[in-house]
Structure 1
Amino acid sequence: MTTHTPPTVYLARHGETAWSKSGQHTGRTDIPLTPKGEADAAKIGARLAGTAFAHVFSSPLQRAWRTAELAGFAPTPEPELLEWNYGECEGLKTAEIRARRPGWDLFRDGAPGGESVADIQARIDGLVGRLKALSGNVLLFAHGHVLRVLAARWVRQPVPFGRALLLSTATVSVLGFDHMAMDEPAIKLWNDDRHLQ
């Protein structure tokens, strides 16, 4: 009888885009990386050099997919890694959304005309379950808000916990398990940008 070895899951947020730079919510709009975003994506590859991955997945959107390619990986597309569907908030900055909806908070209120908090929780919970069934090192290329939700749900916290997990472009984070209790999921590294210095 073989024993399942829990995975270590590396998260890479895509490189800079014009909208990530300006602070506009970028859900399903498929925009490219900036030149800086492309350069930073290559640095992710240098950061991860020497680490063998059993599985590499990417959001199908070009900003994540291209980041994976520039980092030296050939990922498998994973639709569940698509960014939060912002609906009516797409392309808007938080201040613009709050001018229409005072006090709006994505992690509490969801996106009008897009995904609710319950919607994204259901989507990510399914993905987390599949990831935890894998073994070895797993690498995901995706987007800021969806990765923050994924980390929150990985450690069995509610979606709003993701609000506290700030995540910059082209950073690397690592999810795993407590070495003393392998059934206890943990955030081992978060928002690491040392490779960009």
Structure 2
Amino acid sequence: MTLRLFFMRHGETEWSLSGQHTGRADIPLTANGEDEARRLGERLRVYAFNHVLSSPLQRSWRTCELAGLSQDTKVEQDLIEWDDGDYEGRTSAEIHATRPEWNVFRDGCLGGEMPDEISTRADRLIERLTKLDGNVALFSHSHFGRVLAVRWIGLAVEHAQSLLLSTASLSILGYEHDRPTIVLWNSAPLSQFVETDP
């Protein structure tokens, strides 16, 4: 069997709606986020998973549960979101008011994780994951997922700024000719990308 990593971002939360940075704050899914997780589960039913891993934060493991994959789930600490430190709960606009050029993927978070630290964490997880086989489901978070993807293909953390992840999205990391590749990225219902009239 060939290893394939199915990366799922958690469903919507109040802070993902408001644009507040959500690192280690353990906030729940919204009702819509729970619906997103159930719809994600419908998409995943066609796959058999050899391993299911989730961040310890409730927005991830609840997404996993509602997607119907919680029976054999193991909590994986390295799947936790980027530690936002002093920027926890703040919007990018609020941070830019005092640091106009700030970019989390380049500058990290005061009082939290820096790019080299999250890169080390992603590399450590990848090293363990590459010892597995078959389909592996990972339930995690936006910023960490973006870092995991760029580290999977050997790029520096700063490149993660070019990859977006919608709530309850599905991405797949795998191989082509034994080289790590991004097979699928940020697959989510089109309604999440298109603004509609009120």
TM-score of the superposed pair, with normalisation by structure 2: 0.93
Query: 1-side partners of 2:63 and 2:55: how far apart?
Result: 10
Q: Which residue of 2 aligns with 1:83?
A: 81
Give identity over the alignment, percent. 52
2:188 matched residue in structure 1: 193
Within 5 A, what are the aligned runs for 1:59-78?
Answer: 59-74=55-70, 75-78=73-76
Summarize the alignment of residues 37-52 of structure 1 with structure 2, pairs less than 5 Å apart.
Answer: 37-52=33-48
- Structure 1: gaps (5+ residues): none
| Corresponding letter in the other structure for 1:109 | D
Separation in structure 2 between the aligned mates of residue 135 and residue 174 of structure 1, nearest angstrom? 14
- Counterpart in the other structure of 1:33: 29
Encode CA deviations 1:63-120: one digit per residue, 9 max, x unaligned.
Answer: 0010000000122100000000000000000010111212100000001110000110
Going from structure 1 to structure 2, the CA distance change for 1:27 and 1:98 (only over 3 Å counts) comes to same
Which of 56, 64, 80 is equivalent to 2:52? 56
Equivalent runs, 1:1-197 vs 2, <5 Å: 5-74=1-70, 75-178=73-176, 181-182=177-178, 184-194=179-189
SS at match of 2:38: helix
What residue ranges of structure 2 are gaps of 5+ in the alignment? 193-198
> Which amino acid letter does the alignment assign opposite residue 152 of structure 1?
V
Question: RMSD of the TM alignment (CA)?
Answer: 1.2
Q: Runs of 4 or more off by more than 3 Å in structure 1?
A: 194-197
What CA deviation, in whole Å up to 9, does each residue of 1:128-147 have, x standing for no partner?
11111110000000000000
Question: Does the 8 A contact of 1:148 with 1:166 survive in 2?
Answer: yes
Q: Which amino acid aligns with 1:25?
A: H
> Cα deviations across residues 165-197 of structure 1 (Å, max 9, x unaligned)?
11110100000001xx11x10000000014978
Q: Residues 40 and 196 of structure 1 are in contact (CA less than 8 Å); yes or no, is this contact kept in structure 2?
A: no
